[in-house]
């Protein structure tokens, strides 16, 4: 009789909150500076009859603040699939903000047949973000220096918002994130390049960017996401920067849920039903997508 082999550790299921009771299931992934409360401002305005949103805390954040891990987008993608399994969700859509956009793409890579639609909100591309010199030092120092976090939030929202809001964002970030995890996450979302794994993906994608975000701009989306995903389109919110959920919550909900609504429910026999028309502005969105590809 051979040596006893211990059973594998069970997959980690991130702590989460469920909002809504609708048949279209959605996992909404937060970004680098916040936990699942990143979506707090939009929750009063979502369609709870059409959608059920799962809002997880990634490792190092919120209720998972003290959970050890690699703190990589690949690991987080596996964690989200474990969450979907835990919830009994065979198919679902994914919304990802900033770093969460890279995590959402890891889910697409690992299980493309399970993802109905993907929305990237000011979302990191699958080839990372080129941060060099002083810019890299500012981001790398954000883990230990709250003034760096404040400067980054201010810069990426166009230096337009009240000091009290910036201070609130920083206080929340410090309280609900682990500094060592935050620093480790940076190495993954900024430097990992897995774009060859998403090239040619047919998962429908919508990119939502803020006109006042100087980093993850519409042009960046055209050079990255829109080249790699076959069915991708772009929407720019004129009054937002890098944090549309806080800056323009009503506009963000409309941009997200109009796109999700274009996906009809699965047919009873398990086959995917044809896409239904999106609510409002379908032709305009198709035009914007065509322009983006031609840029």
What is the 3-state secondary structure of 267-286? Answer: CCCCCECCCCCCCCCHHHHH
pLDDT tens digits, one per residue of 234-244: 999 999 999 99
Considering the entire predicted model, what is its pTM? 0.88
CB atoms within 10 A of CB 55: 24
Contact between 225 and 129 (Cβ < 8 Å): no
Residue 29: which pLDDT band, with cuts at 50, 70 and 90? very high
Between CA 218 and CA 167 the distance in angstroms is: 28
Residue with more model confidence, 268 or 169: 169
What integer pLDDT is reported at residue 2 of this predicted model? 63
* CA angle (53, 58, 59) in 5-degree steps: 155
CA–chain centroid gap for 151, Å, is 22
Between CA 250 and CA 256 the distance in angstroms is: 10
What integer pLDDT is reported at residue 142 of this predicted model? 98
DSSP-derived secondary structure letter, 196: G
Residue with more model confidence, 181 or 4: 181
Residue 288: which pLDDT band, with cuts at 50, 70 and 90? very low
Between CA 167 and CA 175 the distance in angstroms is: 12
In whole numbers, what is the pLDDT of the chain averaged over residues? 90
- Is residue 102 pLDDT above 70, yes or no? yes
What integer pLDDT is reported at residue 287 of this predicted model? 35
Indicate if the alpha-carbon torsion angle 230, 30, 239, 43 is positive or negative: positive
- Is residue 92 pLDDT above 90, yes or no? yes
Contact between 233 and 286 (Cβ < 8 Å): yes
Quick one: tokens of 198? 């998403």
What integer pLDDT is reported at residue 93 of this predicted model? 98
What integer pLDDT is reported at residue 178 of this predicted model? 98
Q: What is the mean pLDDT of residues 110-124?
A: 98
What integer pLDDT is reported at residue 280 of this predicted model? 35
Between CA 263 and CA 85 the distance in angstroms is: 21
Q: What is the mean pLDDT of residues 116-142?
A: 97
Quick one: tokens of 215? 């980093």
What integer pLDDT is reported at residue 263 of this predicted model? 83
Helix, strand, coil in percent for the chain, rounding step 5: 45, 15, 40
Nearest to 257 by CA among 77, 22, 16: 22
Can you tell me whether residue 169 is helix, strand or coil?
helix
Percent share of the chain, pLDDT over 90: 85
- Is residue 267 pLDDT above 80, yes or no? no
CB atoms within 10 A of CB 113: 9
pLDDT tens digits, one per residue of 2-27: 667 666 678 999 999 999 999 999 99
Nearest to 114 by CA among 160, 155, 77, 67: 77
Q: What is the mean pLDDT of residues 81-105?
A: 98
Quick one: tokens of 132? 């060099």
Percent share of the chain, pLDDT over 70: 86
Backbone angles phi, psi at 217, to 5 degrees: -90, 170
Residue 293: which pLDDT band, with cuts at 50, 70 and 90? very low
Q: What is the mean pLDDT of residues 265-288?
A: 39
Residue ranges in the chain assigned as alpha helix (H) = 73-87, 99-110, 133-140, 146-156, 163-175, 179-191, 218-223, 225-228, 244-247, 249-260, 282-294
């Amino acid at each position: 009789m051979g040596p006893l082999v211990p059973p594998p550790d069970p997959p980690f299921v991130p702590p989460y909150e469920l909002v809504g009771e609708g048949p279209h299931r959605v996992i909404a992934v937060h970004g680098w500076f916040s936990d699942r409360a990143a979506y707090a401002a939009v929750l009063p305005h979502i369609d709870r009859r059409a959608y059920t949103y799962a809002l997880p805390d990634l490792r190092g954040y919120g209720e998972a603040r003290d959970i050890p891990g690699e703190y990589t987008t690949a690991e987080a993608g596996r964690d989200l699939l474990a969450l979907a399994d835990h919830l009994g969700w065979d198919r679902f859509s994914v919304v990802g903000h900033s770093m969460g956009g890279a995590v959402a793409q890891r889910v697409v890579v690992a299980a493309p047949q399970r993802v109905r639609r993907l929305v990237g909100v000011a979302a990191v591309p699958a080839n990372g973000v080129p941060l060099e010199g002083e810019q890299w030092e500012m981001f790398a120092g954000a883990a230990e220096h709250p003034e760096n976090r404040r400067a980054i939030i201010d810069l990426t929202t166009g230096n337009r918002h009240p000091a009290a809001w910036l201070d609130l964002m920083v206080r929340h970030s410090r309280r609900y994130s682990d500094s060592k995890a935050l620093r480790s996450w940076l190495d993954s979302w900024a430097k990992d390049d897995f774009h060859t794994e998403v090239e040619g993906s047919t998962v429908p994608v919508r990119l939502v960017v803020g006109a006042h975000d100087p980093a993850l701009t519409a042009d960046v989306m055209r050079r990255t996401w829109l080249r790699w995903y076959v069915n991708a389109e772009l929407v720019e919110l004129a009054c937002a920067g890098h944090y549309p959920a806080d800056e323009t919550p009503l506009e963000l909900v409309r941009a997200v849920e109009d796109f999700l609504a274009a996906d009809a429910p699965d047919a009873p026999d398990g086959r995917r039903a044809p896409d239904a028309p999106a609510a409002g502005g379908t032709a305009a969105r198709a035009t914007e997508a065509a322009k983006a590809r031609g840029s």
